Amino acid sequence: MSAGMKPAVLVARAMYPETLARLQQHFEVEANPDDEVFSPVALSARLVGKVGAITTGSERIDAAVLAAHPQLRVVANMAVGYNNLDIAAFDAAGVLATNTPDVLTETTADFGFALMMATARRITESENYLRAGRWTQWRYDMFTGPDVHGATLGILGMGRIGQAIARRGALGFGMKVIYTNRSRLAPELEAPLGARYVDKATLLREADHLVLVLPYSASSHHAIGAAELAQMKPTATLTNVARGGIVDDAALAVALAERRIAAAGLDVFEGEPAVNPALLDLPNVVLTPHIASASERTRRAMADLAADNLIAALTGGRPLTPVNPGVLPLRA
């Protein structure tokens, strides 16, 4: 790079104009205003000469990509999850990865709770019934479903978002909260929620409404499959606002079709944006297109945090939310 030239960065998906303008104060920015989802080959071509990138979950950065682009120094993921980034490879290459936690916690919890309620109270199913012109009279058992208030809320993954969902259930709806996590919460976090730490089998057996908010990894792949679904109550609901692949969608479709659980609410899917066709034909599933963090304020905060991380990492500052801080300080 010649003296006086700005370093080059890639913004891999469409971005708020204000965020791009701020980045352009520091960098030569290659943007993607058409919001094309790059193939691996196209992504690699656009990373040529770039020292930094802002990515989303649709861009996979692994050891091969890093090896092909040794000038790359930082990848700022605009998401709290980063299963699209091979962190072991980032560590080996000395490349920083960052994410956007915290700023989306409350918004995602709002949506997770709303999706759980819509699932329990059969909102989508009853709306489709009405829109189809099938509502001609009231009936005592029309679209009855399980209560949310006073029910047992089971949470698999009790991080920031899990705790925020638990607060809504316990404090707003008088729900009994049970949870499974890699480690038990500190007593001062459990106590205000009346939350009870249980093993996975107990969680599956006792939850009236099971909400999944654990990160995706090889160990959490198909954490909910046919065997786990068989342990749930036939009246239970399942809500996934975590990541696709945590649930075996094919097994879930069978369980829903056979009414072995009552209903499911899904914001994430295996192989998204593709959705298992078996799910599309089922009345007892609420489907949304990965929008749990999609409030205007939160999405702007996510974009701003990704930009802040990129700017700090490449201008001698301290990134706010590094995933692998052990690689700091970055090479020149």
Instruction: Examine the residue annotation and report whether 243 is marked as an active-site residue of this protein.
Output: yes
Q: Cβ distance 139 to 126 under 8 Å?
A: no
Q: Is residue 3 part of a domain?
A: no
Question: Taking Cα atoms as reference points, which of 297, 315, 293, 292 lies closest to residue 16?
Answer: 297
The residue-averaged pLDDT of 257-275 equals 97
Q: Is the pLDDT of residue 331 over 90?
A: no
Q: Are residues 63 and 173 in the same domain?
A: no
- Secondary structure E strands in 174-249: 176-180, 196-197, 209-212, 237-240
Q: Is residue 332 part of a domain?
A: no
Q: Are residues 89 and 171 in the same domain?
A: no
The residue-averaged pLDDT of 70-85 equals 96
Question: Taking Cα atoms as reference points, which of 12, 65, 70 lies closest to residue 40?
Answer: 65
Strand partners, 237: 209, 263
The pLDDT value recorded for residue 176 is 98
The residue-averaged pLDDT of 160-181 equals 97
Q: Are residues 278 and 309 in the same domain?
A: no
Q: Are residues 319 and 189 in the same domain?
A: no
Q: Are residues 132 and 46 in the same domain?
A: no
Q: Is the pLDDT of residue 4 over 90?
A: no
Q: Which one of the listed residues 73, 243, 270, 299 is annotated catalytic? A: 243
Q: Is residue 65 part of a domain?
A: yes
Residues 6+ apart with CB under 8 A from 23: 9, 11, 29, 307, 310, 311
Q: Are residues 217 and 68 in the same domain?
A: no
**Residue with structure tokens 């990134």?**
319
**pLDDT tens track for 19-65:** 999 999 999 999 999 999 999 999 999 999 999 999 999 999 999 99
Q: Cβ distance 249 to 269 under 8 Å?
A: yes
Q: Is residue 2 part of a domain?
A: no
Q: H or E segment at 269? A: none
Residue 179, phi then psi, degrees to nearest 5 = -155, 155
Q: Is the pLDDT of residue 2 over 80?
A: no
Q: Is residue 236 part of a domain?
A: yes
> What domain range is 54 assigned to?
8-103+296-327
The residue-averaged pLDDT of 63-70 equals 98
Instruction: Examine the residue annotation and report whether 290 is marked as an active-site residue of this protein.
Output: yes
Helix 105-120, helix 123-131: angle, nearest 10: 60
Q: Is residue 240 part of a domain?
A: yes
Q: Cβ distance 242 to 268 under 8 Å?
A: yes
Residues 6+ apart with CB under 8 A from 97: 74, 75, 76, 77, 82, 85, 87, 90, 322, 323, 324
Q: Cβ distance 113 to 165 under 8 Å?
A: yes
Q: Are residues 120 and 156 in the same domain?
A: yes
Q: Are residues 119 and 264 in the same domain?
A: yes
Q: Are residues 178 and 281 in the same domain?
A: yes
Q: Are residues 94 and 109 in the same domain?
A: no
Q: Cβ distance 93 to 67 under 8 Å?
A: yes
Q: Is residue 304 part of a domain?
A: yes
Residue 115 maps to which CATH number? 3.40.50.720
The residue-averaged pLDDT of 69-90 equals 96
202, burial (CB in 10 Å: exposed 0-12, middle 13-18, buried 19+): middle
DSSP 168-181: IIIIIH--EEEEE-
Q: Is the pLDDT of residue 3 over 60?
A: no
Backbone torsion region of residue 133, taken as left when φ is above 0, otherwise alpha when ψ lies between -120 and 50, otherwise beta: left
Q: Are residues 263 and 322 in the same domain?
A: no
Tally of domains within the chain: 2
Instruction: Examine the residue annotation and report whether 272 is marked as an active-site residue of this protein.
Output: yes
Q: Is residue 1 part of a domain?
A: no
**pLDDT tens track for 193-227:** 999 999 999 999 999 999 999 999 899 999 999 99
Q: Cβ distance 319 to 305 under 8 Å?
A: no
Tell me the percentage of the chain whose pLDDT exceeds 90: 96
Q: Which one of the listed residues 290, 296, 300, 318 is annotated catalytic? A: 290
Q: Are residues 147 and 276 in the same domain?
A: yes
